[in-house]
Structure 1
Amino acid sequence: MLRTLAAIGTDGDRRYAGDMAALWLRFQAQAAEVTADRALALRARDAIAPHEGRWAVALYGYDIGGPMALWRGVAEAALGDRDAAVAAFEAAAGSADALGARPWALEARTRLAAALTVRGGPGDTARAAELRDRVRAEAAALGLATGGPLPAANVFRPGDGAAGEEGVWTLTYDGVTVHVPDAKGLHDLRQLIANPGTGIPATSLLSPDPGAPVPPGADPVLDDEARARYQRHLAALDEEIDRAAALGRDEKATALDAERAALVAELRAAAGLAGRPRRLGDAAERARKTVTARIRDTLRKLDVRHPALAAHLRASVTTGTHCTYRPAEPAHFRL
């Protein structure tokens, strides 16, 4: 799918006009869902909007791709607009019912159940469970039984003002949704989940801005006596930072980090006074300790708020100078 999208580029509207237009619109929504690409989701939603209330009919009627409201809902879900996604899937289910297109009604209600789970509003979880039971029963009657429970959508994304509260994350796993405050460990985990099986340097997680300079492998220091004194001070600060992070005392850890940064800046300013600058404090090691501490802190908090997700991440994430998300079984998340 992604290779096809890249090959089409920006020429899709022209290449797939006429009897192929509905296929192209549907493809864009599906690609946005898979990639979690916000720009693509916006384009898909805006392109589908003029066709609201219609069906995706292509190839002179040989391909029926369901209600356009269904694919608008897919785009809205990819954007994280929970209310709009629920409304679109409800409209799609109603349209399919009106036409007597039962398989498409099942598809719409399956996605509606997932959208309700993600939204997590009053009564949404219970309604989603009822919808899944209904879908299973009707699918069995049509000979379309899945053979097992229908999966709920997994979500690991921050709010963006339009879709959710600023500074609040939506986390959904195994059919359970929680909303948690922003934390650096959540950003680390999201980047790892977005790149399953890929080892990401802790230094990159510590400074995710690709344009930001990565600190060198070490910091300049003074002569032997001064170096020993600063080593002791830095070691003590590192221990205090780790202890504060382990206890969830983020404000204290931040203050200690600032103190350490000021000390390192002082060392850099004084480098060379003894005639030959030396090196202290491996940046990769510092990044390893900091990133590991904040991921562990986030997992400890999730132990209380969402035990199943915490267990999944703890079993799937390894930390070190390189950090990796490698689940035993694939677990797709909307990011």
Structure 2
Amino acid sequence: MESAADKVAAARAELLAAYYEARDNGDAEGMAAAALRLPSSQYFGTDAGQVPALIHEAYTVAVGPASRCRLAAALARAWAYGGEARRAVAFAREAVTIADRLGDPEVVADALDAALLANWGPDDFAERPALSARLADVAAHLIDPAQRLTAQLWCLTTAWECLDVVAVQRRLRALDIIAEESGSARAAFFAASRRAMHALVTGDLDTADRLIAITHDLGGKAAEPDREAVVHSLVAARARQIGDTATLRSEAAAFEAYGAGEGVPSVSAEAAVLWLAADEPDRARQLLHRLTGAGLGTVARDVDFLLTVTSLVEVAATLHSDAIVADGVRLLEPFAGRAVLNAGAVTFHGVVDDYLHRAEQALGGPSATRWRDNAASAYRRIGAAWWRDRLIAPAAAMRPAPPVTVHLHRDGTLGWVVGADGTTVVLPDLKGLFYLRELLRSPGVESSVLDLSAAAPGHAGVVTESDTAEVVDRQALAAYHDRLRAIDVELDEAESWTDQAGLDRLRLEREALLAEVRTATGLGGRRRRFSSAHERARIAVRKAIASTLDRIELHDAPLARLLRDTIHTGASCRYDPDPARPVTWLLDSPTTEE
């Protein structure tokens, strides 16, 4: 039996033969007829090959404005399908301009479809609802079911992006009607696949299974180029929901191979998510590092921008790659409130707020709860039960970070070696590095700043009696005791009070005074003496550590963040390890005596 891929290849070969024959005969209209059908043989997101060149050739010799308009739209479509939307914009704009001048509904509908494809990036969302509404209005008066199908698919995509559940239902029913009225296998393929997506979103897995099978069969009958991509996307989404590890591994491997082979970053990013869901964090980490080597800022702002960035942020948050997560927050915040869809709106990947929540939670940011509540509200509204349940139990999805080995030691005259294995840098003899090393040697132990400062060259020195003064003088301390006695009397007599606020104020004042007395006195009530040398050491140590962390951040931002989170400075200093980020510290040079 001939496969769908074979049918697509045969159809393309037939179109190319017709095109070349028309060109050899100087038949511009024949060239246009074949060229207009070439984009339908493309696989979405993959390199367009010679298709744009052939369409452009027909475009340059087009006879009449209607033909030129359709060829400009086809050229825009070919570039957009090939992942080159920026090349498509000018041709789509020209197509709409000519179509509006001609006033032919069929030509206008074709041009609007091209304009939507060319403006499918994350920054063009404001234009899409108006374009899709206009396309639906024009297509409603057309007989051609293919153009009506295109219009309804655009409206459905926009409805999902807006999370408009009523509009989603309406457009799904419109697709059903087009398939029923036309008897077209292609229309039925799109109706079934989008119904399958909706069933997965709402957790109706029995219906989803039935529709996925129908989608597969209809895609073969219609020789739809994207059949395999559509079915793989739906099957992978279902496997995630039920935790089918075997299927997840199979789909992750397929996504990874396709993404690498065709150079499609969004598919590779999805593969990383699937590897993570399949309990293969090392495979997910490899893809994450491969895709983010130049940072998330290099992700193309095309139709798959949100899918690519959210997928990578999910993996990074789970695997504690904080620098990537922080970059993702910056990129995603402008798109809060939006749905995340794959190209063609075949599968739903949650809402941006969900990923912002996961990112802020991983970073310990203050906005995690707000993003979680926003996402939960969106999921309740559209009935996305699996996504909502996954959101309210995020801890289950978080994995402990693998232990890492980090160097922080001197290496003879070379300087200080700082950083994780394989990514170390050499820093000069900064005092803060001496202080950090001493603290890292004794986790959880309080270290006096005077003892700590002695660990570095040029420390503060010995404290003498002349360097000290009483923290609080006798007169002030006596006043504190007098006021405490007065407050105790007032509280003893307060049983009949109804002024709860007044009672609270007295208790707070009492606690504050007790804290001052504890600070000013030592064992046996003796007044503590405060050292000016001690204060100088406290300031010097704090500044030295802060300056050193700034220096480390220039080379290794995650390490600087870890140290800021776990090193505490003050009158005494302490290192409190973070169990979620285990580290093996190498504090002594393995080869050189200091």
What is the TM-score when the length of structure 1 is the normalising length? 0.44
Larger Rg: 2
Query: Per residue, is there more strand in 1 or in 2?
Result: 1
TM-score (ref. length: structure 2): 0.27
Higher relative contact order (CA 8 A, sep 6+): 1
